[in-house]
Amino acid sequence: MLNFAVSHHSRCALAALLTGAALVVNSAASNSAASNSAASRSTAAAQAPTPAPAAPTSSAPQAPRGAAELTAAQREAALRFDPRQLPRGESGAWVQWGPSVPPPEAVRAAFALGARSYQEGDYGACLALMQDVLRRAPDQPGALYQAATAYFRLRRYGDCAVLAERFVEVAPKEVGATQVLGHAHYTLGDYPRALEHYQRVVAAAPQSVEAWRGLGLARLKLGDTSGALAALDRALALRPEHADALVWRAQALVELERPSEALESALRGRDLAPFEPRTWFLLGSIFAALGREADADAARARFVELNRIDQQVRAQEALLLTDPRAVEPRVRLVRLHVAAGDRESVSENLARLQRLLPDNLDVGALALEAHSALGDHSAAEAVIAELEKRFADNELTWVSIESYWRARGDDDRARRAADRRKVLRSGQR
Amino acid sequence: MWTTLLFASLPQAAQPLFVDDGQALGDVRTTCGTRAKDYILEVNGGGLALCDFDRDGDLDLLVVDGSTLERVKAEELGLPTRLFLNDGAGRFTPAPESWAMTPGRWGMGCAVGDVDGDGWLDVYVTHWGTDKLYLNRNGAGFLDASARWSLSGQRWGTSAAFLDYDRDGRLDLYIANYLAFDPATISPPGGGCAWKGFPVMCGPEGLTPLHDQLLANVGIASETQPGFRDVTVGAKVRPEEAGFALGVTTLDYDLDGDVDLYVANDSTPNFLWENQGDGTFKEVGLARGVAYDMNGKEQAGMGVAVGDVNGDGRDDLFVTNFSGENNTLYLSKGERGFVERSGPTGLAGPSIVKLGWGTALEDFDLDGDLDTFVLNGHVYPQADNAGTDTSYAQEAQFYRNDGAGRFRVEPLLADGRLVLRASSVGDIDGDGDVDIVAIELDGRVRVLRNTLARDGERKLNWLAVRLTAPDGNRFALGGRVVVEWEGGSRAREIRTSGGYQAAIEPLAHFGLGAATRARRVRASWPSGETLEVLDVPANQTLVLERPKAK
């Protein structure tokens, strides 16, 4: 994964940022959705398995150059389409199917492009292409799965469930990879069905961290707190650094009136995902239960601060769901994550911007602003070097650089930038 | 797995407990804009109160009506609030002309209380516009006293609650305000607001929330006396950031003898105003665990109900919310506050695809524990589009308490899906069980009759307790009643706040199950007096007069 925008580690980061290197995004459905906070920003990339070939291969036939070629009307039609109307395949048609089996030749290009659209967060395009695949190759399991996860991303949980259930029906051997169906049932409030499905998944794939976590949450919702704790412990045994599972474990321990253990778990979760408001919210309750009122007040204050930002983040992310190529919401996201101090999310959104607007001075200037605000000076200086190299003849470059050095208190370098700016301005006159 | 089996094994009720009695009121309708719902002003519906305004021993029905933007543009007043008198058998007829109520700009909800201490229930009607106060002229009709009681200002009041926050014997008023709505400046339909990818009316996000108000009752209004004085700032009922307030109720959550307030806010954290006992309040919603859901997410609170769900003697809170959010049950832990238990009680899951409004916690099946219902209906007609996971018209839900801390969801009505809003509750036909009246948006006011008492096979009993006082707070709002019977006990507070844009009668109703007598009834008045009565026969309304102070 290229992770340029916070790459204080590497001077070549900005170069990549400004030259449009490909961005790899995990293709699995967000696991955070099962926390019933699907609108919230995710804090960690999901690692859930996916049975669908998630990316085109070099052997794929020539596909359209990009999902951007799809018209707005095609996307709109795909979003308005009811997936229950998709044709059914012949019984047993996909009995030999497995994740390594490529789609039929006739639909392979569309499938590849749809998978790529998903990776790029363009779920409308993904649906348009996967629906096309499913019309021409009814019930093709990879397309069913990919479309189901796209619906999940679009917060259309009922549609997700329809296609995920169909996937389980035509490819029952792959049930171990369908935790997204449990997530969909959970998010729709059908906790008994979520519980039942998570149990199927962990039976088939006991290594599925997200299914164990989902099972824990479903049990918690149904009042089986001890069972929830056991499931969350299984998830954490598989992935000890799972921040969200740690926080839900803390929640279960609170409900079991074991606040000291809850505190330990919540603090570990906080250390792993310090910008997640919910963790601070829970910490407030735990500290209060332990009689540590000052700590409780501090945790609540941090929660309020982060939650205010998170509300705005969710609003911007909602805009991006329907218009993933929109620039303004992405710029606002960068600034919001800067306000929270969340470097990882700043990086992710700068990288997305760079992909949308390669070779763009404004993106570079935003990156400089962000790294400066985060106090990430090695990354900021890398950006400056790149700006000087690529956009030396633009006045905005020197405005940004002057501002940066001025804020750092380096009057000498600020003056030099100002001089360059003045020269450019006089030349323009 | 055990929970799955438990849920699966629950029997389904053959018939809903409530029937829509179309004959009880006739075809009485309310108006709230057009059916297109192009503006947020058009989606909240009107208000309701079930109280005995003429003191003839049965519950009368007050219906607050709205308006249309066409009327507003033409500078016409809105549609008037109407009173319907009960014939004693649960049938309502329009009250005589003397009860007519002059309209305001656009009516929303109402509060009921004896504001002038004359022993007759008065009415406060919230508006988009200037609110209205109607004094009850000794059962002969209403008098518009809005100007004399110094009501002014143009806000958007939704719900309101009478309370005696300073315990001076005079009823004060809390007004929940929603947002600043100006039809001249708000984005028109298609003005860029979207929900799940569909263009919809704008708000509340992006619009400016209005601060709520606390009006102190400073005495009977006269030429030189204002009646109400706005003490919002002085009483510290003004948070740094206002919420989009929709529902309000009174309760003494910490049982310290003074009345607190809970406000359900739309898309913003809910407020719990803790009465400090010195004429001021402190907002403690976050610290007491009732501002957000268990995920730390603010919800879109609409309706709110109060009652002792688990029989521990403390009032719990139940809040109805937007689709995609669960309705929220906050169980009281005493002074430490509340803990959310929506999921394990069975109240969360079935509510997520619904958008809830009117609700109440009452023992509708008279088995000794509190049940609840939720009136549902979306705000966006676009909810019927593909992929929304919800719908515009929705099924109303009845949640039956199994006595062990779980609720089983059932249809409230056999009529299928409706777009419902505010509700009020009370025994309208005098048969001992609690009935419901509901506002259907752009539709009929529906009288939902509880059919329980007509089932002759079940011998379930009840007791209602009314507290009175010879002066001051004569209906004892803020008083408390504890009833003990063989097999159970329950505490209830006297209030008239009915949650979402509604008012209820100042009376505590108890289901006693099979018990034919209450072993003990303990009553306490807000002024501190207490009274205990032993061995009370069931199936009556017990009226207890405040004893003289020792």
Residue A419 makes CB contacts below 8 A (sequence gap 6+) with none
B533 — contact with chain A (CB < 8 Å)? no
Nearest to A222 among B295, B344, B353 (CB): B344
Q: Which of B3, B8, B353 sits opposite A223 (nearest CB)?
A: B3
Closest chain B residue to A75, measured at CA: B197
| Residue A43, in any domain of the structure | no
Give the whole-angstrom CA distance, residue B299 versus residue B326: 9
- CB neighbourhood size of A407 (10 A): 12
Is residue A349 in a domain? yes
Q: Letter for the amino acid at B374? A: V
pLDDT in tens, A342-377: 999 999 999 999 989 998 999 999 999 999 999 999
Q: Which helix (H) or strand (E) holds A263?
A: helix A259-272
Q: Of chain B residues 389-428, which have a CB less than 8 A from chain A?
A: 389, 406
A3 lies in some domain: yes
Chain B residues whose CB is inside 8 A of the A224 CB are 2-3
ipTM of predicted complex: 0.94
pLDDT of residue B457: 56
The verdict on residue A375 lying in a domain is yes
A278 to chain B: closest CA residue: B296
**Cβ–Cβ pairs < 8 A, chains A and B:** 99
Q: Does residue A316 fall inside a structural domain?
A: no
Q: Which two tokens stand for residue B117?
A: 């201490």
Q: How far apart are CA A325 and CA A328, in angstroms?
A: 9
**Which of B282, B292, B352 to mutate against chain A (most A CBs within 10 Å)?**
B352
- pLDDT band of A78, cuts 50, 70, 90: very high
Minimal CA–CA distance to B468: which of B367, B364, B547?
B547
Cβ pair B3:A192 closer than 8 A: yes
Span of A46-55, A158-167, B341-350 with lowest mean pLDDT: A46-55
Residue A37, pLDDT above cutoff 80: no
Does the CA dihedral B484-B490-B491-B495 come out positive or negative? Answer: negative
B192 touches A at CB < 8 Å: no
Looking at residue B151, its pLDDT comes to: 85
Q: Do B389 and A156 touch (CB under 8 A)?
A: yes
Length of chain A: 429
| Sequence-ordered list of residues with C-beta below 8 angstroms from that of A328, at least 6 positions apart, any chain | none
The residue from A114, A139, A173 where one domain ends is A173
Of B343, B247, B283, nearest to A300 (Cα)? B283
Q: What is the number of domains present in chain A?
A: 2
DSSP state of B56: S
Q: Spell out a b/e string for B247-259, using b for 16 or more CB atoms within 10 Å of the CB, else e.
A: bbbbbbbbbeebb
In a 10 Å sphere around its CB, with 0-12 CB exposed, 13-18 middle and 19+ buried, how is residue A261 labelled?
A: middle
Give the nearest partner residue to B4 out of A195, A251, A278, using CB atoms. A195
> Chain A residue with minimal CA distance to B385?
A80
Question: Hey, is B195 helix, strand or coil?
Answer: strand
**Sign of the CA dihedral with B446 first, then B300, B103, and B441 last:** negative
Cβ proximity of A168 and A205 under 8 Å: no
Residue contact A321–B197, C-beta within 8 A:
yes
Nearest-CA distance B290 → chain A (Å): 12
Q: Over 80: is that where the pLDDT of A415 sits?
A: yes
What would the mean pLDDT of A107-116 be, rounded to a whole number?
96
Of A37, A221, A282, the CB nearest to B297: A37
| Low-confidence residues of chain B: pLDDT under 50 | 1-11
Let me know if residue A313 belongs to a domain: no
Cβ <8 Å between A221 and B344: yes
For residue B87, the model assigns a pLDDT of 97
What tokens were used for B195? 């929900």
Structural domain ending residue among the three candidates A173, A202, A226: A173
DSSP secondary-structure letter at B528?
Answer: S
Please name the residue of chain B whose CA is at the shortest distance from the CA of residue A290: B336
CA torsion through residues A347, A351, A352, A353, sign: positive
Contacts 24+ apart (CB under 8 A), A203-208: A204/A175, A204/A176, A205/A49, A205/A175, A205/A176, A205/A177, A207/A238, A208/A48, A208/A49, A208/A176, A208/A177, A208/A179
Please state, in angstroms and rounded to a whole number, the distance separating the CA atoms of residues B199 and A344: 33
* 3-state SS assignment for residue B82: strand
CB contact under 8 A, B295 and A281: yes
pLDDT of residue A427: 76
Domain-ending residue, one of A127, A151, A173: A173
Beta bridge partners of B447: B437
Asked if residues B525 and B475 have their Cβ atoms less than 8 Å apart, the reply is no
Question: Which region among A38-47, A242-251, B287-296 has the lowest average model confidence (pLDDT)?
Answer: A38-47
What gap in Å lies between CA B160 and CA B131, rounded to an integer?
Answer: 11
* Residue A6, pLDDT score: 30
**How far is Cα A252 from Cα A262, in angstroms, rounded to an integer?**
8
**Is residue A238 situated within a structural domain?**
no
Domain extent, residue A342, equals 327-427
Residue A4 lies inside a defined structural domain of this protein: yes
Residue of B nearest to A190 (CA): B349
Cβ within 8 Å, pair A224-B3: yes
The reported pLDDT for the residue numbered B334 is 85
Residue B497 backbone dihedrals phi, psi, to 5 degrees? -70, 130
Confidence of residue A10 (pLDDT cuts 50, 70, 90): very low
- Residue A383 is part of a domain; what is its CATH number? 1.25.40.10
Please identify among residues 195-214 of chain B the ones whose CB lies closer than 8 Å to any CB of chain A. Answer: 196-197, 205
Nearest-CA neighbor of B68 among B57, B78, B60? Answer: B78
